[in-house]
Amino acid sequence: MTMTVQAVYVGGVLRPVQPLPLAEGETVEVTVSPTKPPGRQLRPPTAAEEDYARRLKAARSLDEMLAAVATAPPLPDGYDLCEALNANRRATGEWLLYPEHPEGSDS
């Protein structure tokens, strides 16, 4: 069986992003090729986003934090929180929180 999997290199170990259908202790041959991170390219924060982050960091009480959160800038069009969380976990080699669906699938 031949398969291509994504893995993250952490602490000297390649860690697969998703579980592999292999038996414990099974020996495999690995070919490594770097990939571009999936998803959108990061854009620089807007002035409103930078101000928001500054106010959150400066909050000294829960009331101040809640007041800052109430003024959060709107999310970009098409922003998908589940995909963003998966992308963060993928980048750190953690298991994904939300199942991925093939392109064009609405399930």
How confident is the model over 69-81, as pLDDT tens digits?
999 888 878 888 8
Q: How far apart are CA 24 and CA 15, in angstroms?
A: 14
Is 106 inside any structural domain? no
Domain of 52, in residue numbers: 7-92
Is 100 inside any structural domain? no
Nearest to 83 by CA among 37, 26, 51: 37
Is 99 inside any structural domain? no
Is 102 inside any structural domain? no
Q: What would the two tokens of residue 102 be? A: 């093939």
Give the least confident one: 23-27, 42-46, 52-56, 60-64.
42-46
Is the pTM value of this prediction over 0.75? Answer: no
Domain count along the chain: 1
Is 32 inside any structural domain? yes
Is 19 inside any structural domain? yes
Is 81 inside any structural domain? yes
Q: What would the two tokens of residue 63 be? A: 């009331």
What is the percent of the chain with per-residue pLDDT over 90, rounded to a whole number? 21
Is 103 inside any structural domain? no
Secondary structure element (H or E) that encloses residue 55, with its range: helix 47-58
